[in-house]
Structure 1
Amino acid sequence: MSETPRAAHPTRRDFVRTLGAAGLTAAVPLIGVRSIEAMPSLRTADEVGPKPTDPAESAVARLFATLSSEQRETICFPFDHPLRSRVENNWAIVEPTIDDMTAEQQELCREIMKGICSEDGFDRFMRQMDEDYGGFGAYHVALFGEPGSGGPFEWVLSGRHDTLRADGNSVPGAAFGGPIFYGHASKSFNEDASHTGNVWWYQGEQANAIFKTLDESQRAQALVDGSRAADASRTIELKGEKVPERGLLVSELDDQQKQMVRTLIEAMLSPFREADQQEVLACIEAAGGVDPMRLTYYTDGDIGEDGVWDVWKVEGPAFAWYFHGEPHVHTWLNVARTAPGA
């Protein structure tokens, strides 16, 4: 699939240079996000996250009921099919697009998409999809299991710069039902140093705000050479206690810097519905909070060589968020309560 540049929108990238850390933190859109520290009830909850009866999942069941036998042969799979857990930056999980569905089915897919997002996040995804792929209808969806039957199920959307899921918590202990991806190429394939118009760059602003607060010794630990893995999806494999000892350990930060790390995670969560936010935060707390995480900034991929780091990673025992902002934004995310085998 070709990567074609499209129109741009204004952004706030240069705030990294003009605002102090506190000002930038306040600028991050944290619509609907509850802070990690403000959710004590979730830290010991046995069940968090979306339910089969939530709006998105209810729409998945209604979509499944409308499918013809021919459609089911094309876009439906057993729940344990390997396609369900695949995550890529640019792929078609099935050949038909949403536009190939009936008008009712297209509207149900839009309802599902809206249901897995915050209001602000839905607007951002719609803008990203319009610019990257020609609109929501150009994307592809597949269904796994039998939604509405009482058994496990999952709806997966794929296309350029998106792998997103709705599963009603059918995958216990895995936030979002498995690893996800979202990205954006705004204005051109090779974005400028300001990432003009990129709907996700506010997350990069927050990450760079943290770096600006580090002293010389901390920066030396946080900044490493190299960035792009041969298989980017493998960079978010959960490693448990085997997290590589690179980057800066969050436990070594002061209280204000730790709060900025929490704010960064909340910025990552802000595009998504509250149920998924809650599950991610509960997973983080179950794995020891932010203290065991490491912050890594990569010297490679620094667009404009301006010291505003376009590529960075936050990684913990059961948390991996890889933000690759060169030549444009690619965001890989995998969160669970525990790493496999831990």
Structure 2
Amino acid sequence: MNLPNLTHIDSELDRRHFLGATAAGAAMTLGAGSLGAAPTEVKANDAEAKPENLVADLYESLTPKQRESICFGWDQTDERSKDMPLRLHVSNNWRITRPGVISPFFTRDQQEMIEAIFFGLYDKQWHGKVRQQLKDDAGGYGKRQSIAIFGEPGSGKFELVMTGRHLTIRCDGDSTEHFAFGGPIFYGHAARGFNEKPDHPGNVFWPQAVKANKLYEMLDGKQRDEALLAFEPAESEVHFQKEGKYPGLAAAEMSADQREHLTGVLDTLLEPYRESDRKEVHRCLKQNGGLEACSLSFYETGDIGEDKVWDNWRLEGPSFVWYFRGAPHVHVWVNVASDPSAKISAEG
């Protein structure tokens, strides 16, 4: 099967309005696409409303022509992922396939299922913030996003990937071995323009950096010297490093109250996502020494306003990378797995 040529999303936004509706055959409520409407909600503990079940329903509803455009083999590669499966590729702004999720390519019922799958991957308390981010960065939900399905639901291995500007998110039903979230993910926000102010007004993800910087304030002078580095690594450098000491201040060298705050930082990072994905991250961490095996780094470069509130920082361990880039606006790269040898494809 030939993949379509993949290109970065162009800057012209599609302004069509997407009206939410009830997804056919699923127990959920879809919010309207405009801000202020009730956000999408997938009922907790309702097996029929699980995003994975909806991926199976969506797959069954696709015509042969649709499958040719958005469905691929489990280990399909392309020019971007090179020798890695495309389903393990991550970028800050890309289309994994050409059809938009609210384009005429999909029927109305299919559009509704895709929206329910997407919002089902997030904690319902974050649905409004996710819609705000999409409005600011892409003109709203569905305006610049596309999907691909790898493998076949019911065969044991399948995954849906949705991409767009400041977005790579996955729904895999735990069929992707080793990885939390089904593989590397990306999120970001440019709330009020490309170059944000020091306090990042309106940025829904900036509180994550505020939480991390409060931990920096708790460090003594020697700890700050270890934690604060001059230069950050390349943006998409989120592959796992060889075992050993990771850059920055080791959590094992923190005091009990500092480690407790670090746990709170992790909780804040995981807050947007559904419970099953949060639990998977914790399982992956536990298998590789927990947070105690990780290190925390802050970077002098990219300090917007030179206020020493570090916009760029990184939490890293044997098979854990959460890389927060707050300059010039928020880009966050996430790669978490149970196996430190697990490999991905990343492009900045």
Which TM bucket (shorter chain)? Answer: 0.7 to 0.9
| Pair 1:210 & 2:229 matched | no
Residue by residue, what CA displacement relative to the aligned partner does 1:257-312 show, whole Å, maximum 9, x if unpaired?
Answer: 00111111111111000000001011111111111111100000000000000000
Distance of 1:54 and 1:302 partners within structure 2: 43
Query: 2:200 is matched by which residue type in structure 1?
Result: H
Q: Are the counterparts in 1 of residues 178 and 342 from structure 2 also a CA contact under 8 Å?
A: no
Matches within 5 A, 1:229-244: 229=234, 232-233=235-236, 235-242=237-244, 244=246
RMSD, aligned α-carbons: 2.0
| Pair 1:144 & 2:150 matched | yes
**Equivalent residue pairs, number:** 292
Provide closer, same or farther for how the CA distance between residues 308 and 293 of structure 1 changes in structure 2, counting only shifts above 3 A. same
Distance of 1:190 and 1:3 partners within structure 2: 17
CA drift of 1:122 comes to 2.3
Judging by fraction of residues, say which structure has more helix: 1
What is the match of residue 332 of structure 1?
Answer: 333
| Pair 1:57 & 2:47 matched | no
What is the match of residue 298 of structure 1?
Answer: 299
CA drift of 1:338 comes to 2.1
Q: Are the counterparts in 2 of residues 54 and 168 from structure 1 also a CA contact under 8 Å?
A: no
**Post-superposition, which runs of at least 4 consecutive aligned residues in structure 1 deviate over 3 A?**
1-5
Is there any run of 5+ residues in structure 2 with no aligned partner, and where? 1-8, 14-44, 77-84, 344-348
CA drift of 1:240 comes to 4.5
Distance of 2:233 and 2:289 partners within structure 1: 28
| Pair 1:93 & 2:99 matched | no
- The secondary structure found in structure 2 opposite 1:188 is coil
Query: 2:239 is matched by which residue type in structure 1?
Result: E
- 1:223 corresponds, among 221, 228, 233, to 228
Distance of 1:98 and 1:307 partners within structure 2: 41
Provide closer, same or farther for how the CA distance between residues 93 and 336 of structure 1 changes in structure 2, counting only shifts above 3 A. same
Once structures 1 and 2 are overlaid, which stretch shifts more, 296-305 or 172-181?
Answer: 172-181
CA drift of 1:65 comes to 1.0
- The secondary structure found in structure 2 opposite 1:209 is helix
Query: 2:100 is matched by which residue type in structure 1?
Result: T
| Pair 1:72 & 2:67 matched | yes
Residue by residue, what CA displacement relative to the aligned partner does 1:197-241 show, whole Å, maximum 9, x if unpaired?
Answer: 001011001010100001111101100111251xx22x2111251
- The secondary structure found in structure 2 opposite 1:241 is coil
Distance of 2:293 and 2:217 partners within structure 1: 21
Distance of 1:210 and 1:60 partners within structure 2: 40
Residue by residue, what CA displacement relative to the aligned partner does 1:319-342 show, whole Å, maximum 9, x if unpaired?
Answer: 001000000000000111120179
- 2:196 corresponds, among 186, 191, 195, to 191
- 2:125 corresponds, among 120, 124, 146, to 120
Is there any run of 5+ residues in structure 1 with no aligned partner, and where? 6-49
Query: 1:98 is matched by which residue type in structure 2?
Result: V
- The secondary structure found in structure 1 opposite 2:296 is strand
- The secondary structure found in structure 1 opposite 2:94 is coil
Once structures 1 and 2 are overlaid, which stretch shifts more, 120-129 or 283-292?
Answer: 120-129
What is the match of residue 40 of structure 1?
Answer: none
CA drift of 1:2 comes to 5.4
- The secondary structure found in structure 2 opposite 1:194 is coil
Distance of 1:210 and 1:69 partners within structure 2: 53
Highest RCO, 1 vs 2 (Cα 8 Å, sep ≥ 6): 1
Q: Are the counterparts in 1 of residues 231 and 300 from structure 2 also a CA contact under 8 Å?
A: yes
CA drift of 1:172 comes to 2.2
Q: Are the counterparts in 2 of residues 155 and 165 from structure 1 also a CA contact under 8 Å?
A: yes
- The secondary structure found in structure 2 opposite 1:182 is strand
Q: Percent identity?
A: 42
- The secondary structure found in structure 1 opposite 2:97 is coil
- The secondary structure found in structure 1 opposite 2:283 is helix
What is the match of residue 259 of structure 2?
Answer: 258
Distance of 2:316 and 2:49 partners within structure 1: 30
CA drift of 1:83 comes to 1.6
- The secondary structure found in structure 2 opposite 1:63 is helix
CA drift of 1:173 comes to 2.1
Q: Are the counterparts in 2 of residues 145 and 153 from structure 1 also a CA contact under 8 Å?
A: yes
- The secondary structure found in structure 2 opposite 1:154 is strand
CA drift of 1:53 comes to 7.4
CA drift of 1:123 comes to 2.1
Matches within 5 A, 1:97-108: 97-100=100-103, 101-108=106-113
- The secondary structure found in structure 1 opposite 2:90 is coil
Distance of 2:220 and 2:178 partners within structure 1: 36
